[in-house]
Amino acid sequence: MLRSLGQRPVTGSDEDPRVAELRTAVSRLRRELAAVPADFPDRAIAEDELAALAAMAAGGLPETPRLRGSLLLIAGAIGSMSALARGLSEVCDAVDLFGEPPRDRAPRRRDDPDGGA
């Protein structure tokens, strides 16, 4: 993979490669889900959340908390369907590319000689 070598894929535009990877992984999982003949109780939830992820990827740089929320709903909806495990793992890896949202630093203590740094 290009990522493992620290290289960026050539997409022909200035598109963030993380977004391109997310779009590809979501598209693949949507196709795999459509190919599953069995109906299961939360299939509509999985389909709706995959559509939401696709829309976020199409809209540019998505918000990490929304990505993670959708991923959790998809994982819960799909459950332990082994036929979709690889595709779900790829979507999870693509979401992980966006990293954790920045967190506020802990407030400084007045009695700390470093000022909390």
* 22-25, Cβ contacts within 8 angstroms, sequence gap of 24 or more: 22/53, 22/56, 22/57, 22/62, 22/67, 22/91, 22/94, 22/95, 22/97, 22/98, 23/54, 23/57, 23/58, 24/94, 25/87, 25/90, 25/91, 25/93, 25/94
Report yes or no on whether pTM surpasses 0.75: no
pLDDT tens by residue, 31-73? 999 999 888 889 999 999 999 999 999 998 899 999 999 999 9
* pLDDT above 70: percentage of residues in the chain: 74
pLDDT of residue 52: 96
pLDDT of residue 100: 67
Q: What is the mean pLDDT of the segment spanning 65-93?
A: 93
